[in-house]
Amino acid sequence: MAKNKALIAGATGVVGRNLLRHLLATGDWEITALSRRKPDVDGGYEHIAVDLLDAVQCEVKLGHLTDITHVFFAAVTTSPDAALLVSQNVTLLRNLVETIEPLNRQLKHIHFMQGTKWYGSHLGPFKTPAREDDPRHLPPNFYYDQWDYMVERQKGKSWTYSSARPHAVSGFAIGNPSNLTMVLAIYATICKALGVPLCHPGTAGNYSALYQCTDSGLLARAMVWMATTPQCANEAFNITNGDLIRWEHTWPRIARYFNMEAGPRRRISIANAMADKGPVWDRIVQKYGLRPIGFQDIVRWPYGDFVFTPEYDIVSHLGKLRRFGFHETVDTEEMFFRLWDEMRAHKIIPPAD
């Protein structure tokens, strides 16, 4: 039997990179990875450097792909301009789909990534636990535009689609703008190097509110399940680790992992506090012989401010996911420690001392 062939768009991000690792580990897939730079993942796969915002470039560089069975779309672009954010992210998806779909008669499924922002989690308090059929909030929200595009595009077609809605995806990927694991690890490493306690940098309400995370490996397995399970056709699913944390309980354990004192909660902007810490990081890299990843590439500090500011619960309902048959869970605190152990082993952060 011929293998399925996956096309991963956004293969250097925390979602795409870990999906690539998962598919390689199974040995059941042929893989083409799309990204502007080659993923730092070893294995047998084709990489194509392409700008998905450029329709002509997509046609030229992807025109030879005629045996794709599954598309996994994890590409995203950011912009402070709301209208541009919507138009560019819809363009990314449209250019890929409208290039690949006509060329691949055996196309079975297109999976595209969304998130808890579907429910307005970035705008203020929202109904929790959030369910997939909750009413939309007032636009703009490019998730809505992407979903509506896929619904219309799929009408009358033999292929199907699905979408995952995770929150706080955690893993390792260089330069990923939304990676809580990296924010915590580099923040703790720099605080330790400066001899200061590890203080939760958020608001008082944030410290006690319920929060959820999604392990990138768990997400990868769920994405493949959604893309290959017939009853998941044309459905969206919340996906998280399945547990909840409060920073007030988890923060002391994080401090202990890094052999640090947990200081008092202090409301600061991590982006501002870390703006001049590049030289500190450079000294850490040199002292411990870490991989020479620049301070500007290893983490995006504004995401930390985004995580530690809200003073309301962030909770997704997982009932639909379970009813359809996906039952895996991950302990969030153990996930943090496991991912940081992996980062230590790969010389991303210093060893324990």
For residue 277, indicate whether it is catalytic: no
Instruction: Encode the chain (353 residues) as per-residue pLDDT tens digits.
Output: 468 999 999 999 999 999 999 999 999 999 999 999 999 999 999 999 999 999 999 999 999 999 999 999 999 999 999 999 999 999 999 999 999 999 999 999 999 999 999 999 999 999 999 999 999 999 999 999 999 999 999 999 999 999 999 999 999 887 675 789 999 999 999 999 999 999 999 999 999 999 999 999 999 999 999 999 999 999 999 999 999 999 999 999 999 999 999 999 999 999 999 999 999 999 999 999 999 999 988 999 999 999 999 999 999 999 999 999 999 999 999 999 999 999 999 999 999 98
List 108, 117, 320, 347, catalytic entry: 117
What gap in Å lies between CA 38 and CA 43, rounded to an integer? 12
Residue 212, SS3 per DSSP:
coil
State how far the alpha carbon of 167 is from the alpha carbons of 34, 122, 142, 229, in Å.
23, 11, 16, 22
Distance, CA of 307 to CA of 242 (rounded, Å): 19
Nearest alpha carbon to residue 246 among 186, 318, 333, 177: 333
* Strand ranges inside the chain, DSSP E: 4-9, 29-34, 46-48, 70-73, 109-113, 160-165, 169-170, 210-211, 214-215, 235-238, 245-246
What is the model's pTM?
0.96
**Residue 117 a catalytic site member:** yes
CATH, domain 170-213+244-345, list 3.40.50.300, 3.40.50.720, 1.10.8.50, 2.60.120.10 = 3.40.50.720
Q: Pick the catalytic residue from 5, 45, 119, 143.
A: 143
Kindly report the CATH number that applies to the domain delimited by 4-168+215-238.
Answer: 3.40.50.720
Residues of the chain with CATH 3.40.50.720: 4-168+215-238, 170-213+244-345
For 224-257, the DSSP string reads HHHHH-GGGTTEEEE---S--EEHHHHHHHHHHH
